[in-house]
Amino acid sequence: MSSPLPPALAATDRRGFFKRAGLGLGVAAAATTLQACDTNDDDDDAGAVTLDFSSDVGVLNYAYALEQLEAAFYSAVVADAGFGSTFNADEQAVLRALSAHENIHRDFFATAIQQAAGAAAVLPDLEVDFSAVNLSDRRSVLEAARTFEDTGVGAYNGAGRYLESADYLLIAGKIVSVEARHASVIAGLLETNAIGGTRIGGGSQIDGNGLDPAYTPSEVLGAVDPFVRTVIRAVNVPS
């Protein structure tokens, strides 16, 4: 949808995408967007990290960043004091499973990146911000979950072609289909017979060709911006 911009422009670019992302996410997400603009001013306090897509390690760190975010989100959801009353038993089981899976993904990437390139190559812990989500409100949580999962699917789909290693491509494939399973289940909790939500920029998550989206890092980082205080810059993204 857009080509990556030089690092110097990344922050502006990110905000641009972030506004665009809000268009497709409905009323609740629009409110989220406004709050996130405010917290965005604090981003610098949380530091900045750079994802360098010129190597597979950079692509793995991109996935690691998203898994960090998802893991932190579901950990917060299941740890909320009202978790047992906000969600029915089935939903609790789903959210507990998602929390486990995403934490496993996060831990896996931390381990795999360290093995591949050393501890110094592992992306630092991101500072997250879920203040835009009302953890005691079922719909607020599930809509945020759907955004994370749908965005994650599109992120992996878009990043597959950046990977040079067939082994890493296979591993990414092993994870993205699980993210798709998550996305489908969450969509089904929000709406009977639904298997996906709304894609970035508007329209059904699954298009007329029966395809999930394949997002650029700019699109993805824009969509998750409301939930991350750390500035994430993407450089050397292949065209």
Partner 1 sequence: MFDLLSTLDADAAAGVASRRRALHTVGKIGLGAAAASIPFLKPSVAFAQSGGNTAFEVLNYALTLEYLERSFYRQALDMNYLSTARPLVETIEADETAHVALLRGAIEAAGGDPVDYEDADFTFGDFLSSYDNFLALAQSLEDTGVRAYKGQAGAIQGTDYLTTALQIHSVEGRHAAAIRRLRGNQGWIPLDQPGAPVPAVYGAGNGFPAEDNVTQGGVDLAGALTGYTRQEITEAFDEGLDMETVLGIAGGFITGNKDQDDDGDGSDNN
List residues binding partner 1 (CB under 8 A).
93-94, 97, 100-101, 103-105, 107-108, 111-112, 115, 153, 156-158, 160-161, 163, 166-167, 169-171, 173-185, 187-188, 192-193, 195-196, 206, 208-214
Query: Considering the complex, what minimum distance in angstroms separates the CB of residue 182 from partner 1?
Result: 7
Between residues 76 and 171, which has the closer beta carbon with respect to partner 1? 171
User: At its nearest, how many Å lie between partner 1 and the CB of residue 162?
Assistant: 10
b/e map of 82-118 (b: 16 or more CB within 10 Å)? ebeebbeeebeebbeebbebbbebbebbbebbeeebe
Cβ proximity to partner 1: between 36 and 176 the closer is 176
CB 168, min distance to partner 1, A: 8
Burial class of 11 by CB neighbour count within 10 A (0 to 12, 13 to 18, 19+):
middle
Q: Which is nearer to partner 1, 182 or 229 (CB)?
A: 182
For residues 105 and 137, give the distance between their C-alpha atoms in angstroms, rounded to a whole number.
26
Tell the smallest beta-carbon distance from residue 211 to partner 1 (Å).
4
**Residue closer to partner 1, measured from CB, 147 or 157:** 157
Residue 2 CB, nearest approach to partner 1 (Å) = 16
Which is closer to partner 1, CB of 18 or CB of 62? 62
